[in-house]
Amino acid sequence: MATQKALTLLDTTVGKKAALAVSGVILFGFVIGHMLGNLQVMLGAEAYNAYASGIKSKPLLLWGVRTVLVAALLVHTVIVLELYGKTIAARPVAYKVKKHIATSYAAMMMKYTGPVLLVYIIFHIAHFTYPGVSFGDYDPIAGDVYANFVNAFRIPWVVAVYVIANLMLGMHLYHGAFSMLQSVGLSHPRYNNRVKNIARGLAFLVTAGNVLLPLTVFLGLAK
Amino acid sequence: MARSMNLVLNVWRQKNAKDQGRFVRYDAKAINDHMSFLEMLDVVNEDLAHKGEEPIAFDHDCREGICGSCGMVINGVPHGPAKSTTACQLHMRLFKDGDEITIEPWRAGAFPVVRDLVVDRSALDRIIQAGGYVSVRAGAAPEANSLPVPKLDSDQAFDAATCIGCGACVASCPNASAALFTAAKISHLALLPQGGPERTDRVRKMVAQMDAEGFGHCSSHKECEAVCPKDISISFIAKMNRELITAMSVAPNEIKSRSKG
């Protein structure tokens, strides 16, 4: 018999899923705020730059939030890798014929949307925050986030990358919104449908807003 | 009028746990549509026995859909295409002449193949042994009014207790998770007063055993619920999660991690 140790919540698959849910809800909350904040780009250069410098003027808040987000992302990633390893081992021989009769496309795609989003997050931070990269014939200007935004989204392939990545984010959130409630045990026959619809509605709004953002330049909503 | 049909079967044949295993094609001839799926296999087996070949091994017992013995993946769906139905209660009238049917055993690391379509499901028994009981003398049915149980609780406990432990939830889950089985067993006792005293230990021990057996985690695909012959809801999985999170934070004593087998 293997050496036995006292079990903690995080030793169990149930606890790992709960941690995945908690880190997920933090990231979910952030993308809502991120989407709403950036929609201000449609208010024009002055408002958008003021919003950006407003955030920069509160370094404690900025770095506090950044720390929490990085921690959440790390937890989310490490736990998924742990669980994924277990899942591979849990079915060593695959079925020849297997039908999926209940699951959603979004749920089946989680294992692809997750890694894609991780790469996208790194790309996105490198693109706009640190160090700030130009993919076209312009120089990123520190402090003028409006100009950087408009210049970046004049390039069709950049727009395409952002639109595709955010559609993937939408799918990820669609399944995650339901699954995280289940993982922490928030299920009640009277409220299930309502809560699920709210969660999925939020996922839809985030996606709609985030897909609109890179298209604003083409649509003439930001110039 | 009974219809007669001819079918082609692709059946997983595996001599023992060590054998590699392979699919073998069989013709199932003159199958009466009133037969059950297992009776169809009986006909094929009789034919094989006459030819001096080894019959296809599969688990079965009551053939009434209540014992949980039978189970095989039929054309990619555990227990086959009929909802809320075990393989033994699956009627051949759902198939038509000329159909090709692929039959596989439950696939999970925790369910090693014993032979052909028979898998070893004692991992589920060990989850029960870990805590799926009450440590009191059960005796005869008590006087009904001596231990009041709210109607909703008793209904839900009954819904959970209908689990026959067939393992279709594991077989259908993309992660080969036994969450639905374990959740049903934990919930039916957690909902009743008799299960109260051991509630916090039970959930921790059973989840620890479930993990030790090498089942995957739940990722809310709902495939288990869709194939469950007893229609057990994944809301019980949420209940198990709630039970465990609560137990881990309130229970005074520690639980040891468990080993497989």
CB A135 within 8 A of CB A115: no
CB B174 to CB A100 under 8 A?
yes
CB B223 to CB A185 under 8 A?
no
pLDDT of residue B146: 87
Angle at B254 between CA B251 and CA B255, to 5 degrees: 105
Residue B255 confidence (pLDDT) above 90: no
B250, closest residue in chain A (CA to CA): A9
B112-163 pLDDT, tens digit each: 999 999 999 999 999 999 999 999 877 788 888 888 999 999 999 999 999 9
Residue A90: which of B176, B234, B242 has the nearest Cβ? B176
User: In a mutagenesis test of the A interface, which of B126, B182, B257, B260 is the best target, namely the one with the most A β-carbons within 10 Å?
Assistant: B257
A137-162 pLDDT, tens digit each: 999 998 899 999 999 999 999 999 99
Work out the average pLDDT over B171-193. Answer: 97
How many A×B Cβ pairs under 8 Å?
159
With beta carbons under 8 A apart, name residues in chain B contacting A4. Answer: 256-259
Give the start-to-end residue ranges of the domains of chain A.
9-219
B106, closest residue in chain A (CA to CA): A95
Report the mean per-residue pLDDT for chain B.
Answer: 95
Residue A17: which of B217, B227, B235 has the nearest Cβ? B217
CB B88 within 8 A of CB B80: no
Give the start-to-end residue ranges of the domains of chain B.
4-115, 121-134+150-250
Amino acid at B107: R
CB A187 to CB B221 under 8 A?
no
Please tell me if the domain spanning B4-115 has the same topology as the one spanning B121-134+150-250: no
> Residue written as tokens 């987000």?
A69
Residue B173 confidence (pLDDT) above 60: yes
Residue B207: which of A14, A187, A192 has the nearest Cβ? A14
A161-217 pLDDT, tens digit each: 999 999 999 999 999 998 999 999 998 888 988 988 998 899 999 999 999 999 999
Half-sphere exposure for B224 (CA within 13 Å, toward CB): 30
- pLDDT band of residue A4 (cuts 50, 70, 90) is low
Report the mean per-residue pLDDT for chain A.
Answer: 94
Tokens coding A101: 């009769």
Work out the average pLDDT over B231-248. Answer: 96
User: Which CATH number applies to B4-115?
Assistant: 3.10.20.30
User: Which CATH number applies to A9-219?
Assistant: 1.20.1300.10
Helix A110-128 and helix A59-90: axis angle, to 10°? 150
Residue B241: which of A93, A99, A184 has the nearest Cβ? A184
Angle at B109 between CA B55 and CA B169, to 5 degrees: 85
Work out the average pLDDT over B93-100. Answer: 96
Domain B121-134+150-250 class, CATH top level = mainly alpha
ipTM: 0.93
CA A82 to chain centre: 20
Angle at A109 between CA A105 and CA A112, to 5 degrees: 165
Partners of B74 in the beta sheet?
B77, B103
A27-75 pLDDT, tens digit each: 999 999 999 999 999 999 999 999 999 999 999 999 999 999 999 999 9
Residue B239: which of A9, A15, A185 has the nearest Cβ? A185
CB B217 to CB A101 under 8 A?
no
With beta carbons under 8 A apart, name residues in chain A contacting B234. Answer: 182
Tokens coding A29: 């909350």
- pLDDT band of residue A1 (cuts 50, 70, 90) is very low
A67-104 pLDDT, tens digit each: 999 999 999 999 999 999 999 999 999 999 999 999 99
Q: Cis bond leading into A131, ω under 30°?
A: yes
B13-59 pLDDT, tens digit each: 999 999 999 999 999 999 999 999 999 999 999 999 999 999 999 99
CB B244 to CB A9 under 8 A?
yes
